């Protein structure tokens, strides 16, 4: 079976690396031949982070390459699309370019809100239902959480599955808890998501007045006056070690429709390393964090301070929560669990048996 994978990014893009690319060896072992085409290359993504946006010439070139491969879609049994094939084009144009070949859509973000919640009434009128129309025409829609899956069902998608964004257990280790008088909190993300740390400015500053600690920020440069911040460059080869060297994982989120589409991957990473977690009770965070078992949910600055202070001062809580989180990842949120299921779904979507709608 020949599968065309249309990703948003290359390996530098977390969503592409985790939602599609890490599955390629499993798909090929199951008998699929995979051709991967990224819309935006790693070089383009790096330039975006540095310059704050894409160059128009680079975008036009990227769209040209994507159009070319879509015109060759009939060579494949299935097209597996991360999010959307051609952002900002009318849905009818994208569906026309996919006609005749079954396609699967995979979402780990609420990208439909890019259109239906856009500040421009023209965009909302012309493209507000764009993603819904693509979902309606898909053979299968995979959502990273129930919020995304529910949108697909409301759009009339014929087959909808929920599958979280997961880790490869072979890459993740569980170190011995070593939190002492100088604990280390960790947050991992990108320059575009570092804004969430602003919500922790007050609680982190208050904690800094009580004890010495370090906030390790992986993947972005952040400055929080009054807080000892250690910024670490993200690389695929070093991210697991950089997380595992820490003591407590943090995942603050804002309470907006966009955040409800987040899939909690940071929490899954922290738990895979055996770390206890503290997170905002937004979206899937509330399902991943079992209050008092693998971490705490914190809805206010006072709750953040209370949760972190409790963890800092109780090694037994950290150990038990870290172990519970790791167990949850092993049972539900790892590649070793989801890859066989995904293979069945893709075979079924292409009409090759396996799971069917």
Residues 122 and 208 both lie in one domain? no
Encode pLDDT of 64-122 as tens digits.
Answer: 999 999 999 999 999 999 999 999 999 999 999 999 999 999 999 999 999 999 999 99
Is 355 among the domain residues? no
Is 299 among the domain residues? yes
pLDDT attached to residue 180: 54
Is 59 among the domain residues? yes
For the chain, the domain total comes to 2
Residues 312 and 342 both lie in one domain? no
Residues 153 and 181 both lie in one domain? no
Encode pLDDT of 2-29 as tens digits.
Answer: 999 999 999 988 999 999 999 999 999 9
Residues 111 and 201 both lie in one domain? no
pLDDT attached to residue 214: 96
Residues 118 and 230 both lie in one domain? no
Residues 260 and 273 both lie in one domain? yes
pLDDT attached to residue 49: 81
Q: What is the mean pLDDT of residues 304-331?
A: 96
Asked whether 190 and 49 are in contact (CB, 8 A), the reply is yes
- Give me the domain span that covers residue 208: 169-333
Is 356 among the domain residues? no
Residues 98 and 202 both lie in one domain? no
Is 357 among the domain residues? no
Residues 148 and 41 both lie in one domain? yes
pLDDT band per the 50, 70, 90 thresholds, residue 208: very high
Task: CATH number of the domain at 53, please.
Answer: 3.40.50.2000
pLDDT attached to residue 42: 84
Residues 147 and 26 both lie in one domain? yes
Q: Return the CA Rg of the chain.
A: 21
Reply yes or no on whether the pLDDT at 179 is more than 70.
no
Is 61 among the domain residues? yes
pLDDT: which is higher, 178 or 219: 219
């Amino acid at each position: 079976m020949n599968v065309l994978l249309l990703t948003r990014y290359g390996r530098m893009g977390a969503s592409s690396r985790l939602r599609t690319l890490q599955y390629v060896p499993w798909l090929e072992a199951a008998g699929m031949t995979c051709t991967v085409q990224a819309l935006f290359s790693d070089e383009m993504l790096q330039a975006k982070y540095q310059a704050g946006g894409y160059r128009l010439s680079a975008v036009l070139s990227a769209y040209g390459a994507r159009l070319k491969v879509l015109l060759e879609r009939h060579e494949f049994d299935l097209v597996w699309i991360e999010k959307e094939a051609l952002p900002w084009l009318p849905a009818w144009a994208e569906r026309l370019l996919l006609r005749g070949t079954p396609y699967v859509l995979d979402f780990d973000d609420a990208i439909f809100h890019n259109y239906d919640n856009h500040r421009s009434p023209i965009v909302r009128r012309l493209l507000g239902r764009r993603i819904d129309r693509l979902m309606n025409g898909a053979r299968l829609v995979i959502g990273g959480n129930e919020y995304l899956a529910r949108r697909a069902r409301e759009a009339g998608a014929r087959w909808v599955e929920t599958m979280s964004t997961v880790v490869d257990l072979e890459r993740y280790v569980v170190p011995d808890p070593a939190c002492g008088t100088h604990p280390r909190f960790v947050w991992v993300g990108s320059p575009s998501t570092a804004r969430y740390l602003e919500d922790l400015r007050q609680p982190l500053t208050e904690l800094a007045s009580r004890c010495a600690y370090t906030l390790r920020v992986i993947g972005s440069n952040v400055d929080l006056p009054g807080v000892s911040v250690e910024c670490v460059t993200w690389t695929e080869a070093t991210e697991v070690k950089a997380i595992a060297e820490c003591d407590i994982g943090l995942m603050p989120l804002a309470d907006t429709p966009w955040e409800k589409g987040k899939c909690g991957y940071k929490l899954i990473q922290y738990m895979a390393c055996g770390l206890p977690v503290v997170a905002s009770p937004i979206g899937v965070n509330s399902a991943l964090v079992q209050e008092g078992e693998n971490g705490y949910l914190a809805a206010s600055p006072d709750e953040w301070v209370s949760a972190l202070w409790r963890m800092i001062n109780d090694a037994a809580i950290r150990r038990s929560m870290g172990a519970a989180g790791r167990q949850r990842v092993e049972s539900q949120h790892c590649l070793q669990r989801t890859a066989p299921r995904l293979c069945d779904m893709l075979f079924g979507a292409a009409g090759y048996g396996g799971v069917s709608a």
